[in-house]
Amino acid sequence: MEEKRWSDYAFFPRGVAIIGASPHDIATLAQMSTKIKEKLFLVNPNYREIRGQTCYPNILAIKEPIDYAILVIPALIVPQVLEECLQKGVKVAQIYSSGFSETGMGERMALEKGAQLSRCLAYLL
């Protein structure tokens, strides 16, 4: 059997999680109306649901397999969330965040930890 490449998981995922999903985020709402909506999982501990779709407190609470995670979260929590993605078995993480090296020491430490974790999975910045 041929081994899958990261692009297989990105373009043909079994499940996709938007971590940091929000009812006020146009990207979240747009993804909810695409053909991946049946395998799209929303993650944000501040919401129980967004437009009728369950919103999970973290990626580990999702029972279905997730291959692709889209992180729309503050830089300081990226390392923690990437750790959870690794535990979940996520293969690709796409990160939309600010506040890494352009701000302060805490953010730089988060970037270093994130770089260590990213060696374990494919990521798109």
User: What predicted TM-score, i.e. pTM, was given to this entire model?
Assistant: 0.81
Pairing of strands 122-124, 92-96: parallel
The count of structural domains within the chain is 1
Domain that residue 103 falls in: 15-20+39-124
- Looking at residue 36, its pLDDT comes to 83
CATH number at residue 107: 3.40.50.720
Amino acid 114: pLDDT: 61
Each residue's pLDDT tens digit, 64-78: 999 999 999 988 888
Does 28 fall in a domain?
Answer: no
Residue 25 belongs to a domain: no
In a domain, 101, yes or no: yes
Residue 34 within a domain: no
> What digits encode the pLDDT tens for the residues 8-67?
888 899 999 999 999 998 888 888 888 888 899 999 999 999 999 999 999 999 999 999
Q: Is residue 120 part of a domain?
A: yes
